[in-house]
Amino acid sequence: MNLIACTPWGGIESRPVYLFRLTNSSGAFVELTNFGAALVSAHVPDRYGRLGNVVLGYENLQGYLTDPNYMGVTIGRFANRIGCAAFELDGRRYLLEANDGANTNHGGPQGFHRQVFNHEIGENYIAFHYTSPDGEGGFPGTLELRVRYEWTEDNALIIGYQATTDLPTIANFTNHAYFNLSAEKSVIDGHKLQIFAQNIVEAGADHVPTGLIKPAGAFAFGGNDIGQKIRQENGKKTGINICYILDKQADNLSEACKLSDPKSGRSLIMRTTYPAIIAYTGEYIAGQIHQPFEGLCLECQYFPDSPNHPVFPSATLRPGELYDHLIELYFS
């Protein structure tokens, strides 16, 4: 049986913000907030049973209000880039808000990461609800999103996304947690990563896909130290920000990746119904609290810019359909 605690955490324009803590019988716990439907922390044991926080975040709401890194938040309406901040659907062209050069990234400047969600508390879960009005950020249709976080007895965090719309639209939601299994303020170079993917989505320097699919090659992760993949160019570390196409069938729930830290003994296995996962080594982390390469993002989602590439898996959501995807994080 989980213990769920709710603590006032400030407010935004008269809307209250809360910090929720879900604790299982072993004492391991996760913390969430209804601002951005964000994962704030995950305190799980190392090989000696000592709890430590393995998710980058902030100690107060102000940290999230000024955060440029999308720490732990829910991303919507569309995770990752949409090229030229525009897409066409059913013969109509939609113009979005650009916030990454000429492109839209993570739903635009006022995406779901900047919104206060309503909440409901269940026996072992917290569910967050947000209604995105027609035209918000340039996206069509009034969209209803439910994000459900369940914390289990065996230290698994199960994140479920369900959404409906009243007009044809595009939808692509994920969680943007940065993981550091050492539970220390250190770079992730020594972590080992395995991604169950043979191919990647080719992208340009702006991380917008070219439309080509190619073998992962030198970017494949088969249990490698992350530091082996981070290159040095002109004396500066250059990280990974790549969309991997998962080796899976349709929308079946299957393993996406395994992350481990030999020093602490912690590991994370991620399973998902999504077709792809973005591995991002955090080279652009900014701010006074965290440093570049301190955390690894593993973002299960549809392909970036998929509305502009008909050969990619479709992220179109139509009236009468239910958007229904899972991301499961198993800590051990």
Residue 303 in contact with residue 151, Cβ under 8 Å? no
pLDDT at 304: 98
pLDDT at 23: 97
Query: Of these residues, 119, 176, 191, 309, which one is catalytic?
Result: 176
CA 289 to chain CA mean position, Å: 20
- Cis status of the peptide bond prior to 77, with omega within 30 of 0: yes
How far is residue 273's CA from residue 327's CA, in Å, rounded to a whole number? 7
pLDDT at 233: 55
Is 184 one of the annotated active-site residues of the chain?
Answer: no
pLDDT at 225: 92
Those residues with Cβ within 8 angstroms of residue 139's Cβ, 6 or more apart along the chain or in another chain: 77, 78, 94, 96, 107, 132, 169, 170
Q: What is the full per-residue pLDDT of the chain (332 aa) written as tens digits?
A: 578 999 999 999 899 999 999 999 999 999 999 999 999 999 999 999 999 999 999 999 999 999 999 999 999 999 999 999 999 999 999 999 999 999 999 999 999 999 999 999 998 899 999 999 999 999 999 999 999 999 999 999 999 999 999 999 999 999 999 999 999 999 999 999 999 999 999 999 999 999 999 999 999 999 989 988 887 555 567 889 999 999 987 778 999 999 999 999 999 999 999 999 999 999 999 988 999 999 999 999 999 999 999 999 999 999 999 999 999 999 99
Domains and CATH numbers, the chain: 3-331 (2.70.98.10)
Is 31 one of the annotated active-site residues of the chain?
Answer: no
Q: What is the CA radius of gyration of the chain?
A: 19
Those residues with Cβ within 8 angstroms of residue 25's Cβ, 6 or more apart along the chain or in another chain: 1, 153
